[in-house]
Every structure is written in structure tokens, then in C-alpha cells.
A and B are shown apart, each in its own frame.
Chain A
Amino acid sequence: MPGKTDTSPRIAFHTEGLTKTYGEGEAAVHALRGVDLSLPEGELVVLLGASGSGKSTLLNILGGLDRATSGSAHFRDHDLTTHSDRALTRYRRDHVGFVFQFYNLMPALTAEENVELVTEIAKTPMSPSEALDLVGLGPRRHHFPAQLSGGEQQRVAIARAIAKRPDVLFCDEPTGALDSTTGRAVLQVIADINEELGTTVLMVTHAAHTAAMAHRVLRFSDGAIHAVEVNATRLAPREIDW
């Protein structure tokens, strides 16, 4: 298959018949029921859907945090479904940045140190202060998470995710815990990263209005993608009606 569909934008992710089942028998939960998907590089993709619709599960599998039950998932020439644990670790380390809904900062480390945690093991990282400057938190680099507001913590988490110059940035409900003003600021940072660094961004959200800023929108329900929309015109985050 590769080579044959080699039209201009390269494909970042490609899945076929991807399923994920938690538990067994009667108690089994089908989180993904066969997802076929191709995503080009450099796009900002928004995954929309209600809780439990499967969007986070897909994100986790594409991010190498979880394994599929069946089907295949590729990142470029990486077959994520057959990768060993070691290879998945390698993949996360070299290609992927994560931003989580609850920031998941290490409480024992300062903002800068939280970023350093990732730059330490990355191949060609930017400096932690550069990453923090990008999210506008340079002056607060020596603060601990407990001394930062929710929006600031999330921006540290973004700085941490982009500092390694990842090929893909995964954001799981990045504004879920934030108010609208802070949420917009965070989304702006994500959009800027996509724009300026050319990083492919996959963002999970259940806030439908964020769809306006995406190149592409995947709508989830009941473990499957039921619609894919490509936005002809995009809105900047500050223009979004929250």
C-alpha cells in the first residue's frame, strides 16, 4: 500500500479495522469498533464526541500509550500494533508529545524541571526556557505546580510536550479543566505550535466549538468515526464562540 497513494501531503497516521475491547464476556466494553483512518502530516485534527465515544482510546493507541485489540495502526512506517513495549517506548520518546486534561505535572518539580524531564531524554530538544517562552511562561519557570493557576499548569504541560520538537502532539481535553479565557489562550498556543513548527496535532475534546480551528474534524460516536469534516476556512482560537 505505501508508495501507491503517494500524493503530495505525506500520511502521518493510517489505521484499518482498529478495535479495542476492555474486559471480557458480558462485562466487555467495546471502546473502538473498527476504525479506518488516514491523517496527513502537519494538520491540526480535532476528535469530537461524547464521553465514552472512543476518541481518547484512539488517541492513546496512536500515541503508543495503549494497545489495540485488533486491526492495524501505523505512524509513518511504524506499525504501532506490532511494536514491542520497548519499541513503543522508543516511539513515544522520539516522536510524540502529550498534553493531558489534568496537566499531570510532577508536583515535586518546578515548571522548568518538568520540561527538563523530557528534554533530558529527547534527541534534538529546544531548551526548557525556550519552550516555556513559547507558551509565555518564561518568567514563572521556577514555580512549582502548586504555585501556578490551572491555565499556567496546562501551558507548562504544553511546553513540556513540545520541547522535544515532537512530530506529533497529542492533546487529551487540554481545555477541559479551564475557563473560557484561559482555554482560548491554551488553544492559541496549540495552534501556534501547529502553524510555526509544523507539528501534527491530534486534539481530543467534547467541546464542539473548538472544531472551527481544525483542518480536519473527526466525529465519534459509539466507538466509531461517523463523520469526517475538512474545514475550508478555519477560525483562530480567539474568534471561537466559546
Chain B
Amino acid sequence: MTLLSPLDRKLLRDLWRIKGQAGAIAAVIALGVMTLVMLSGLVNTLEQTKTAYYERYRLPQVFVPVERAPERVLERLAEIPGVSAVEGRVTGMALVEIDGEILPIRAQAVSLPVHGRARLGDIYLAEGRMPDPARTEEVLLLKAFADARALKPGDTLSATMNGARRGFRITGLARSPEFLYTTAPGEIVPDDARFAVLWMSRDSLAAAYDMDGAFNEALLGLERDASEPAVIAAADRILDPLGGRGAFGLADQQSNFFLTEEINGARSTAVAVPPIFLGVSAFLLAITMHRIVQAEREQIGLLKAFGYTDGETAIHYLKLMLAIALAGAGAGALLGIASGRAMAGLYTDYYKFPFLVFTLEPRSFVTGFAISVGAATAGGAGVLRAVFRLSPAVAMRPPAPADYSASGGIGRLARRLLDQPGRMVLRRLHRQPGRMLGAAIGIATGMALSVGMIGLQSGFARTIDLAFTVLDRSDAQVTFTHAMSEKALYELARLPGIESVEPVRNVSVLYRHALETHRGAITGLGDTPRLARAMDAKQRPLPLPEGGIVLSSTLARELDASPGDFITVEIREGRRPVFDIPVTAVADSLLGAPAYMRLDVLNRALKEPGRVSGAYLRLAPGAEDSVFTTVRGMPALAGIALKEDMREAIREVMDEGMGAMRFVMLAIAGIVTFGIVYNAARIAYAERARDLASLRVIGFTRGEAAFVLLGELGLIVLLALPLGAVGGYGMSALIASAFSTEIYTIPLIFDAQSVASATLAVLASAVFSGWIVKRDLDRIELVSALKTRE
């Protein structure tokens, strides 16, 4: 009949009795575990989905662009050791015009295989049908672009390819792992609406780009144990005489680079953030367990008096602690799975995966449970050891009244200033400073978490603000199809509506320093640029030196280089010069990982004096449309981008990509902070219920009794606020770096506003928690409170 031992029944009823507190603490630990399970599961899911998508649609491992190579060269590429598959295709830049848009949109045209599916670089037909190879006007359009521009199968568009304008009909919409992110050349931020990909018949495209019987891009698949650098070197050797433009691996492919960086960002968030949340939860769990077990001191003594051994007694309380910790961790794991799944779904849409491979990270469960159980045990074990040291006779007696005599001085001093309840509060703080400090530190930790998370929100805004108003003060940016004489800029400057023009030259390069390499670009700027500048951390413009390079802090970190070091620069275009150059300064980097040189110095290195690849423009107010209408006819214009559009694009990446996690984390931080304050109030109430009932019995009013309790809580909170502000600084730094990726850097923001907001959150939590315990105190049944110990 009795399945449970009486001790286990005691356990269940004890749990029921402290359900409010147990629930609050379990909820806090649940949030910690949830963060861990959710983030690690999300990262795993994205990683697995990416891999599956790449494999299913055969994304190549090496891309080999070339000016023009005859078809038969593909056979030579196939013979390179380690190459398992080869596909040749024709691809070219195009400008697409659509109704209602003044500016042409940059696009990449890609050939479809003549027969069947592509051996490498396959596509997923999301809507409509494949183009008929016999109909040269039929194209597939990248679905992300079509969605952003509200285009659908059956619509028409016109595109300029190699100088000739043609009309096309869209037969279908496609997705491809190669174009998950699309970024217009010369820009750093992907934007679905401003870059299109067209797939069309090989013959049609070959005719447009004069590639009959030839290809201008080869795709290579590698065997499992192949050496990518060796294959790249071999491909370059074969294609160099034909105008090879430098083979590169998947890691340097733009869309993959961006996606990988996002996932890396998510991973570093998943590594750095959950420990913060879990640590705060574990700390709180330990403190609360300590208190709960301490309150059981007399019952522990009684069990020992009956002859229960230390071990048996410890196991009983361990069960109590484990029940709370495991319930919290279990709920957290379930919440983590559910929220991880929901977020993975959102991100699948965001990253445009056609399917989702939902996977969890088993280690996160183990870690979550181990930390919860460990913290609970650690918190309770200390008290148990202390109680076990007492003889049962002592443990069973209620603890001797705390000795307040040492705080008598306070009484004398405060007698004239404070009434009796006020003195009680002060004396208690004086008498048990450790306990009060523990509670204050708990609240301070919660507040620090909120300070950090609130600061992070400003950090994201600051990054956008600095990048687009301080560093870059232009209104628009034009890019040419190839490096042009700077005379083109004079023409631009003469156009009505353009107030100023500044040259820029972007060249793609490979950096080397020590063992590190990085594929990126150098931005060449004028002597004293005013529109786009390199700046140090204090927003002071950095002069570009005659003989050196300025690295962004992200790139400097990537290359492990600091001012004074020489780095090797291999330029990947033109004559492809290679040179060593000293780093003269490190610029604050906010977006991407740029590097800056003086334009004339860069051009000298390239042996191409007076060349620019684009320009920054300052426009007269309201002149955008007229300028664009004039500029669109310029020969060799690859594109023009409004800074407002770019700002929106990066905002979207930050708010909908991995950065969106910050909103979720802010909410969780808020709940954790409340949970901690509420716990502190509950514990204070539980420890003092008897004293407070005694006060009521001897004639104190409800208000006066409440003052003793709430006054104590208030003082703890006041003590916690400055501690929380100080801790918030460290937490802000930790969180900002955890949320930074190579795509964007989040600065440490620790300002009055975040501290004030977090302070308000703590105070609001304190008022609400105080109101709840005050309600309980008002309802306390005086006689029973004094009779039974609860």
C-alpha cells in the first residue's frame, strides 16, 4: 500500500510547502539550461542543414574563374589528382531593369547545363518550370530576389549583358546553396533586393559573352582526402596562360563565407552566452539550496536523534535538492528543444534553406543537468556538513537567538533617528552581513546580466550609427565594371545634384602574416578623405600613410598583426603583385574586416596610376532620382548603391540574422533578474515569518511588521544596485564580444541608460515581489504561525 517511504512522502509534502520558492528557483535554472540547449541545438541544426544542403545540391569545393578557356581544358582539370568532378559553365555580370526602379540592379547570369542536371552547382527549382533550352528568352530567377521584388513566373524583365539589352521571360524561381547570401560587388552587406541571379540556357549565354565552345568558370569537386591548396595551385597552373583569375576554395566563396560567419557567430554566442546565464542560475540555485537546508536544521537533528545516519539524512536532502534542480533542468531542456526548434524554423526561412535538419547537441543536456545538479548539491552540502557537525541535541534546539549585542552601538546611535522596526532592520543587516551580502550579490548578478543585455541593444545601434554616419558620410556609392581613369570622377562631379565626389579603389587580395592568411580586400582612399574614412576607437580620423597599411581591428586580430609588423599582400587582380608592407595603425572596425591604403600608393603597387574602381558621392537633398537617371546611362557603370539601402540591409542582417538572438536573450535576462529578486524576497519572508508573526502578536500593525520585512529587502536591493552597475560593466564587455562576428563588431556599451534601465527593472521586480510577500504576511495566521514551524 505504501510505495513511498515516509521520508519520501515528507519530501513531496515539503516540496509542496515551498512550491513558490522551489518553482521560482527551478524556473531560473530552467532558463539557464534552456539558453544552452536552444543555442547549441540551433547551431548544430544550422550546421547540419548547411552541410546537407551543400551535399544534396553538390556545391563545388573549388571555384576556378578564367577569362576564356576552351571546353577541352576541363579534361585537364579533371586529371588533377584529388579532383572527383568537374563542371564548366558560363557566367557573366548583367544589369537588370525592372519596372518602378530607376537604377539598374546588378545581376549574375549563370548557364544551365545543356543536358540534365549540373554535376556540380545544382539548383533547387522552387516554383515554375525549367527554361526550354530552345527558347533563349527564358530564364530562371533567384527566388530570394524575386520575392524581394515581387516577381513571379510569367513576368518579364530586361537585362543588359555585355552591352546588349535583351528581354527575358521568367519561367521559374530557383534556390541554390551557392547564392544563399548575395552581395553586389564592392559592397559588404548582402541584400536580396539588390542583387539578382539569372539561370539561362548555355547557348544563349555563350552567345552573349562570346563563349561558344568555351567556359569562363570551372567548378571542381574534391575527393575526400584531397589537398585543396594543391588542387588550387594545379588549376591555377593550367589556367594561368588562358587568363586565370585565381582559383579559390569554398571558404572564400562569398555566400558560404557569410553563412559560415553567421554560424560561427552563433556558435561563439552559444559558447559564451549560456555559461553566463547558467552561471547566474547556478549561483542562485546554490544560495537558495543553502537557505532551504538551513531552515531544516531542527528536522535534520531529529532524524539523527532517531538513528538515521548522516548518509541517509544527506540522501534525503539531496533528493529534495535534486528534485528542484532536475525539474528545472528538465523543464529547461524541454523549453530549449521547443524554442531551438522554433528558432531553427525561423532561421531556415531567413537563410533560405529549402529544408531543415533539426539536430540537438547531446552535450548541452549533459552540461545543463550536471551544472544544475552540481550547483544544487554544492549549495546544500555545505549546510549539511555544518549541521552534521552539531550534536543532534544541539541541532534539534532552535538556533540560539542571534547575538545582536555587538550592534548595540547602532541602536544607541540610531535610537533618536529610527523607530523600533527601523532599528530591527539595521541590526539584522549588521548581525548577518554575510547573508545579506549573499542576497545582494545574487540580485547584483541578475542586474549585471540585464545591464549587459540592455547595453548590447545600444551596441547594435551604435555599430550601425558609427558605420553609416561617422565613418561613411557619403550618400551613395558608385562602382565601375573595371578600374577606370579618375577622369570619370570629374564627369561625375560636374553632374547637377552631385555635391562632392571621392575616389575609391577596391582590390581583392590575400593577406599573409606569420601562419595566418585571410582573403579580403584593400580599400584605397584619397589623401584626405572626407566622405569615407578610417578611424580609431575614439572616432578620430586616421591619416593614411605614404608607405604602410591601416588594418581594421578585426583583420588585425585575424592576422595576429599589430602596428610595426610587416604583412604580405598578394593582390589578386591586374598584374597580381605581391609585396610586404608595414602595418602603421589599427582602425576601429564595425562592419567586415577592411584594410585601408592611400590610393596613389596602392595604384603604384599595381603599376596602374590614376585608376579608381568607384566613388563615394555626396548628393544635394532630393537630387537622388535625377542623379540616378543621368548616371544609369554611364558606360562601365556596374552599379550605384544608396547608403540608406545599405544601412537598411545591415540592419536587417543584424535584426533577423544571428543578432536577433539578442532580443530573446534580453527577455530571458529580464526574467532571470526578476526571478532572483523574487527569490530574495521569498527567502527573507520564509526566514522571518515566525518573528514577524510574533511582532504581530505583541501588537505591531501589519504595516509595521511589513516594514521590518520590506525594509530589509529594500536595503538589500539598494546595496545590490551599485554592485550590479559595477558587475554590469564586465558583463557588457563579455556579452558584446560574444555577439560580435567577423561581419559586424559590437562595441562595449556601458552607459547611464543601460544602468538606469536595469535599475528600474530591479526596482520594479522588488516592488512586485515585495507586494506578493506583503500579501502573504497580511494573511498569516498568527496562532498557527507561532505553533508550527513552517
Enumerate chain A interface residues (CB-CB to B < 8 A).
Answer: 60, 63, 65-67, 85-86, 89-94, 96, 98, 100, 104, 106-109, 113-114, 116-118, 120-121, 145-146
Contacts and interface: CB of A to CB of B under 8 A. Distances in A.
A90 B307 contact: yes
A89 B310 CA distance: 9
A189 B309 CA distance: 29
Contacts of A106: 10, 299, 302
B396 A107 contact: no
Interface in B295-350: 298-299, 302-310, 312
Interface string B277-300: 000000000000000000000110
Interface stretch (B117-125, B127-135, B603-611, B782-790): B782-790
12 contacts: A65-B393, A66-B392, A91-B307, A98-B305, A98-B306, A106-B299, A107-B789, A108-B14, A114-B6, A118-B307, A121-B308, A146-B788
Nearest to B303: A117
A106 B305 CA distance: 13
Given A108-B17, A109-B10, A146-B784, A89 B307 contact: yes
Contacts of B14: 108
Given A106-B299, A113-B6, A113-B10, A65 B392 contact: yes
Nearest to A60: B393
A43 B421 CA distance: 53
A96 to B, nearest CB: 7
A108 B320 CA distance: 14
Contacts of A107: 788-790
Given A108-B10, A117-B306, A120-B6, 10 more contacts: A60-B391, A91-B307, A107-B788, A108-B17, A113-B6, A113-B9, A117-B7, A118-B307, A146-B787, A146-B788
Contacts of B391: 60, 65-67
B686 to A, nearest CB: 14
Contacts of B636: none
Interface string B23-61: 000000000000000000000000000000000000000
Contact of A89 (B17, B302, B309): B309
A113 B307 CA distance: 16
Contacts of B308: 89, 93, 121
A10 to B, nearest CB: 23
Interface of B: 2, 5-7, 9-10, 13-14, 17, 298-299, 302-310, 312, 391-394, 396, 784, 787-790
Contacts, number: 78
B306 A86 contact: no
Contacts of A117: 6-7, 10, 303, 306
A66 B6 CA distance: 26
Nearest to A112: B6
B9 A109 contact: yes
Nearest to B14: A108
Contacts of B307: 89-94, 96, 118, 121
A91 B17 CA distance: 33
Contacts of A108: 9-10, 13-14, 17
A65 B306 contact: no
Residue among B6, B9, B302, B396 with the most chain A CB within 10 A?
B6
Contact of B5 (A86, A90, A93, A120): A120
A85 B787 CA distance: 32
A31 to B, nearest CB: 11
A152 to B, nearest CB: 14
A19 to B, nearest CB: 16
B390 to A, nearest CB: 10
Given A65-B393, A66-B391, A92 B306 contact: yes
Nearest to A86: B309
Nearest to B307: A93
A67 B392 CA distance: 10
A23 to B, nearest CB: 11
Contacts of B392: 65-66, 92
Nearest to B309: A89
B310 A85 contact: yes
Contacts of A146: 784, 787-788
Contacts of B17: 108
Contacts of A96: 307
Nearest to B392: A65
Sort A-B residue pairs by CB-CB distance and give the 3 closest, nearest first.
Answer: A93-B307, A108-B13, A65-B393
Contacts of B787: 146
